Amino acid sequence: MTTTERPDLSWLDEVTMADLERNPYATYERLRAEAPLAYVPVLGSYVASTEEVCREIATSPDFEAVITPAGGRTFGHPAVIGVNGDVHADLRTMIEPALQPAEVDRWVDDLVRPIARRYLEQFESDGQAELVAQFCEPVSVRSLGDLLGLHDVESDKLREWFAKLNRSFTNAAMTSGGEFANPEGFVEGDEAKAEIRSIVDPLIDKWIEHPDDSAISHWLHDGMPPGQTREREYIYPTIYVYLLGAMQEPGHGMASTLVGLFGRPEQLEEVVDDPTLIPRAVAEGVRWTSPIWSATARISTKPVTVAGVDLPEGTPVMMSYGSANHDTGRYEAPTTYDLHRPPLPHLAFGAGNHACAGIYFANHTMRIALEELFEAIPNLERDTRAGVEFWGWGFRGPTSLHVTWEV
């Protein structure tokens, strides 16, 4: 540590994973004020909490990506979010072509809009719904599942997989000895991966011999010499990344956007009346409650000083982008959802060369789904008889969202 006087951070010894999963904002608000870069014992890691420090580390040549211990235990190696150099370049070359804006524009409307309409048809005459389970998550997982080539996997099964992988990935509590505090917390993630492999392995066998336009088929073949494919063990960790992060991000992003708009009825009315405002509403929604809240990390490649803290080479730092997006040094009244907030850049999708590759796809999935929702049910209201609970520290969103409307 630097010799500069540091605040007393002994209160961090009392922070638990339950505190962070239920409501990380109080802890991180205090961290931003007292120690923008601090060691958090329950996580066994340094944590970056302000916009400035997160962006500095994410873009610094003195840091490279590293996967969190729980993330590594969940995904295995090489997962695209935790590798560097040639392996990272190859994995990004593998996944990015289908996610380039010009390519996404070619097919995203034909992919997402029929899916959104299909789910709306199931409840639009009911006068009530629970939108997380009946619309937001199903549209999100079905859209990505079809893109990956998992057409025959039911949406509820895809939702089950990402929920199990989520709980495994965020099983981050560590003992003082550097061991996982709850090793049993990885069991259901392991069960999900075994089931995924039992379904995807035969598809990979097929795609090796008979390539098609599905994303995983392209991952196997693109950029490889004729007659060769990437090994399945090489791509599986990134498949798991997609089945967790990419599956939940649009669903939770649109659900959080709706909660924010319901809290500002006049702004909801504006968006319903003028759908061209939906991209702006979504941008504010994912800033207000970032779907990927604190799921990525970096590691120092040499001794470096950040925010007055001396970090030896090889020091991991967890990037708390959800906290950075509530930084009062960057945003006015950041805890308030505001459609008309000046459009400052946010960190909901990360920064640097490990920023989310699917930003464009995710934003358009959310846009199209909300266009269809507001077109079908323009008089949507939150059912105030039921509360809205947000959950999650690594990945965050509403657990449910009950709504009503007059049919």
Q: 48, 57 in Cβ contact below 8 A?
A: yes
Q: Largest Cα–Cα distance of the chain, in whole Å? A: 66
- Report residue 46: phi and psi, to 5°: -70, 150
161 C-beta neighbours (distance < 10 Å), count: 25
Burial of 248 (0-12, 13-18, 19+ CB in 10 A): buried
Q: 307, 36 in Cβ contact below 8 A?
A: yes
Q: What angle is formed at CA 342 by the lines to CA 323 and CA 322, rounded to 5 degrees?
A: 10
Cα–Cα dist 185/190, whole Å? 10
225 C-beta neighbours (distance < 10 Å), count: 6
Any idea of the CA torsion for 304, 307, 308, 312, to the nearest 10 degrees?
-30
Q: What is the mean pLDDT of residues 217-244?
A: 97
**How many folded domains does the chain comprise?**
1
Quick one: pLDDT band at residue 6, thresholds 50, 70, 90? confident
Is a pLDDT exceeding 90 seen at residue 169?
yes
Is a pLDDT exceeding 80 seen at residue 5?
no
Report DSSP letters for 1-68, one per residue: --SS-----GGGGG--HHHHHH--HHHHHHHHHH-SEEEEGGGTEEEE-SHHHHHHHHH-TTEEEE--
Q: 285, 309 in Cβ contact below 8 A?
A: no
The contacts of residue 99 (CB under 8 Å, 6+ apart) are 357, 358, 360, 361
Is a pLDDT exceeding 90 seen at residue 3?
no
Q: What is the mean pLDDT of residues 86-113?
A: 97
Q: What is the SS3 string spanning 98-162?
A: HHCHHHHHHHHHHHHHHHHHHHHHCCCCCCEEEHHHHHHHHHHHHHHHHHHCCCCCCHHHHHHHH
261-290 pLDDT, tens per residue?
999 999 999 999 999 999 999 999 999 999
Looking at every residue in the chain, the average pLDDT score rounds to 96
Is a pLDDT exceeding 70 seen at residue 1?
no
Burial of 177 (0-12, 13-18, 19+ CB in 10 A): exposed
For residue 68, what are the domain limits? 3-405
Q: What angle is formed at CA 382 by the lines to CA 381 and CA 386, rounded to 5 degrees?
A: 150
365-382 pLDDT, tens per residue?
999 999 999 999 999 999
Q: What is the mean pLDDT of residues 209-221?
A: 97
Q: Looking at residue 285, which CATH number applies to its domain?
A: 1.10.630.10
Quick one: pLDDT band at residue 343, thresholds 50, 70, 90? confident
pLDDT for residue 4:
55
34-51 pLDDT, tens per residue?
999 999 999 999 999 999
Is a pLDDT exceeding 50 seen at residue 2?
no
Cα–Cα dist 248/318, whole Å? 20
Quick one: pLDDT band at residue 88, thresholds 50, 70, 90? very high
Q: 317, 48 in Cβ contact below 8 A?
A: yes
Is the CA virtual torsion 364, 365, 366, 370 positive or negative? Answer: positive
